[in-house]
Amino acid sequence: MNELLPTLPGYAAAHLQLSLVALLAGVLVSVPLGIWASRHPRAARPVLAVASALQTVPSLALLAFMVPALAAVGAPSIGWLPAALGLFVYSLLPILHNTAVGLATIDASLLEAADGVGMTPRERLRRVELPLALPVILAGIRTAAVWTVGTATLATPVGARSLGYYIFGGLQTRNYAAILLGCAAAAALALLLDALVGLLERGVRRRRRGLVRAGALGLLALALAASLPPLLGLLRAEARPLVVGAKPFTEQYVLSRIVAGQLERVAATPTTTLESLGSTVVFDGLRSGEIDVYVDYVGTLRAVLLGRTDAPGSRAEALEEVREALARDGMTVAAALGFENTYVLALPRAQAEALGLARIGDLAGHAAGWTIGGDYELFHRPEWQGLTATYGLRFAEQRSMDPSLLYEAARTGEVQVIAAYSTDGRLDAYDLTPLVDDRAALPPYDALVLAGPRLVADHPDALTALQALAGRIDAAAMRRMNAAVDRDGQSPAAVAAAFLAELAQ
């Protein structure tokens, strides 16, 4: 916990900034739209229907959709912007609905009285309708505020800084203190924002200016607190650090810190890390220049990101195909780390021995009655289709889940087989037996350090530092480092520091 607390203010401020900007944008759009909807009830129905439909879209899917949508128009597609846009869309419905309802339910006699004293429609809206509807509108803003703060924790996979950093990272590394810290901090922010908007609502409803001032000053203080870190960064005019990306599993957390540490130690180059990114998100970020370096795998690059579905002739041939394809897009393979982390089908050792299962082909007689668990991507990958076709496997059910839950699901019998990672220390910790891919249906998954065009062009010393990692990590070493996090409870930062210290000797 002690190593988590120093970073909390920065992530909390970023989370708050993201939430407040999205909420403010939602208010600026939804209130005028709600006023229009109250004036045109029939025409407003489709607008409210669209807002309601957007609310049903899973929040993580909505945030992820913003990445390719922004990339298609040439806008920054990683980080703050896609997260803010997704949260803005999610904030619309409660504010829009409450504005329309608040205005539509005003006593008609009051409106007639306003007309009777000669008020223009604009004056009536400003001096009568909005003051009467404001408590209902603020109730909608209050609901949207809580939703937005909670949903902002899901901004981590699209590269935005938020309190989701603790939740996603803690889930993958079984660091329950980090998960608790992220959840508690997000809940505290949501409750604080709800209380301040609630003060405004009560002050307006009871016509007590003191409550209104207290709520407004509290919100202003929060906005200043959220704005302070980026403003200080602008004043310091610091050079942009190299951005190190990482996917959402233990090995990536360790490797991203090794890469960042190597850059800072050898090349004296400042770095920042974006973790828990999806495969396509981090790759697109490297290609667009929003990420400078990350570790990926030949099989993923070849099958998913480069669109190759045919089997390579050899590991060397697959690596060369990837290297050439990346070079055409301005990206460089800085180093092959020296190990392969492929998918392996695994099951509890006792069950494998009892049934005499040693190879993937041995599953053919059992698959029809079994459930297999895999990560979010596996069952959509072309290599999964190739694997099942090669071995004639037809499982009764395929269940996608967070990678950190796969091993526990196999241990408890929730699934009978899992698609694990060959260098994962949890294979040993959970006493799982990997089955041999004797027909070579899975492509090679050699780990590569990929460098983007900005790093190569502007930081030659950084590229040299990365090249020094070539061949320095074998599969056994990687499995030990993963086990140190997943089994022994060490932090990825500590494990990476120990490796770099040994490398420096």
The string of DSSP letters for 276-299 reads S--HHHHHHHHHHTS--EEEEEHH
Do 349 and 331 share a domain, yes or no? no
State the Cα torsion 7-10-11-14 to the nearest 10°.
Answer: -170
Q: pLDDT truncated to tens, each residue of the chain (505 aa)?
A: 566 788 898 899 999 999 999 999 999 999 999 999 888 888 788 888 888 888 888 887 888 788 888 877 878 878 889 899 999 998 999 999 999 999 988 988 988 898 888 899 888 998 899 999 999 999 999 999 999 999 999 888 888 889 988 998 888 777 888 899 999 999 999 999 999 999 998 988 888 888 889 888 999 988 888 887 666 655 655 668 999 999 988 999 999 999 999 999 998 889 999 988 888 889 988 988 889 999 999 988 887 667 776 667 678 888 898 999 899 888 999 999 999 998 999 999 999 999 999 999 999 999 999 999 998 888 888 888 888 999 999 999 999 988 878 999 999 999 999 999 999 888 988 999 999 998 888 888 999 999 999 999 999 999 999 999 999 999 999 999 999 998 888 999 999 999 999 998 7
Please identify, among 202, 218, 236, the residue that sits at the C-terminal boundary of a domain. 236
Give me the phi and psi of 369, to 5 degrees please: -110, 10
Do 217 and 329 share a domain, yes or no? no
Q: Measure the CA–CA gap between 215 and 197, rounded to whole angstroms.
A: 6
Domain holding 350, by residue range, is 343-434
Do 26 and 56 share a domain, yes or no? yes
Please identify, among 236, 252, 282, the residue that sits at the C-terminal boundary of a domain. 236
Tell me, what amino acid is at 96? L
Do 102 and 55 share a domain, yes or no? yes
pLDDT at position 238 is 60
CATH code, domain with 309 = 3.40.190.10
Do 42 and 97 share a domain, yes or no? yes
CATH code, domain with 162 = 1.10.3720.10
Do 403 and 451 share a domain, yes or no? no
Residue 214 located in a structural domain: yes
Neighbours of 118 (CB within 10 A): 7
Do 330 and 347 share a domain, yes or no? no
Residue 152 located in a structural domain: yes
Residue 250 located in a structural domain: yes
Tell me, what amino acid is at 252? Q
Residue 387 located in a structural domain: yes
Do 161 and 281 share a domain, yes or no? no
Instruction: Tell me which residue has tokens 């889930």.
Output: 171
CATH code, domain with 386 = 3.40.190.120
Ordered strands of the 397-400 beta sheet: 397-400, 371-374, 417-421, 343-348, 432-434
Do 126 and 225 share a domain, yes or no? yes
Do 288 and 223 share a domain, yes or no? no
Residue 283 located in a structural domain: yes
Q: Measure the CA–CA gap between 2 and 415, rounded to whole angstroms.
A: 36
Please identify, among 186, 215, 236, the residue that sits at the C-terminal boundary of a domain. 236
Give me the phi and psi of 455, to 5 degrees please: -65, -45
When divided into structural domains, the chain yields a total of 3
Do 407 and 476 share a domain, yes or no? no
3-state class percentages of the chain: helix first, strand second, coil last, to nearest 5: 65, 10, 25
Helix (H, G, I), strand (E, B) or coil at 475: helix
Do 457 and 384 share a domain, yes or no? no
- 244: β partners: 273, 293
Q: Measure the CA–CA gap between 293 and 282, rounded to whole angstroms.
A: 9
The H or E element that residue 347 is part of is strand 343-348
Residue 439 located in a structural domain: no
Residue 166 located in a structural domain: yes
